[in-house]
Amino acid sequence: MNTKKTRILYILAVLAESVLLLGGCGGKDEQQDISTEIQSSAADETNPAEEAKSVEEIYAEITQAVSLQSPILVDEDFIMNYYGIDSTKLEEYVFSMSEDATQAECVIVMKARDIGDVDELADALQVVVDEKKNEMENYLPEQFAIVEKSNVETKGCYVWLVISEQSDVILDIIEENTVG
């Protein structure tokens, strides 16, 4: 009897967890609460869950670790007008680019509200890569070489693109502070 009840509870738990994983990405505070709870309740049987930082915190860590080239942060009108990125689909984001139009450098980290929008966001960031390549190819070969090494990456609800000479350091920071 006890075993049967246990099985039912186990199935319910698996279903609930599936809904959790497929249902979306959630707010940061909620996510942190859940992470904390999982960490404290299940500490005796699993590794402590990794804790994701906000993209704002991630960007702050990046700017402390590397010196970006005259970075500016652009707003939701800019990302919509240029790249068709609908900011209402984003839980949070940082879109940093160099003020100097002859520098291709940009650091973009986005967290989708819904995991179902991740592919669309990745496509939009691929447009950024293509645009930069197109602009720099026959104009600034050194910048073109930097753009060519860049890739749009995704992890869970996160999508990011780093075009920078210091991309290795920046990508490590993003990778370490995001949870899939």
Site string for other proteins, 158-177 (x = CB under 8 A): --------------------
**28 interacts with other proteins by CB under 8 A:** yes
Site string for other proteins, 94-113 (x = CB under 8 A): xx-xxxxxx----------x
* Shortest Å distance, C-beta 86 to other proteins: 10
* Cβ contacts of 156 within 8 Å, gap of 6 or more: 25, 115, 178, 179, 180
Distances in Å between the Cα of 142 and the Cα atoms of 117, 126, 133, 149 are 33, 20, 11, 11
Nearer to other proteins, 97 or 171 (CB): 97
What is the SS3 assignment for 26? coil
Which segments within the chain are labelled E, that is strand? 71-73, 90-98, 106-112, 152-155, 158-163
- Binding residues (CB under 8 A) for other proteins: these are 2, 5-6, 9-10, 12-14, 16-17, 19-20, 23-31, 33-34, 37-38, 41-42, 44-45, 54-56, 59, 72-76, 78, 80-85, 87-88, 90-95, 97-102, 113-114, 124, 127, 130-131, 134-136, 138-139
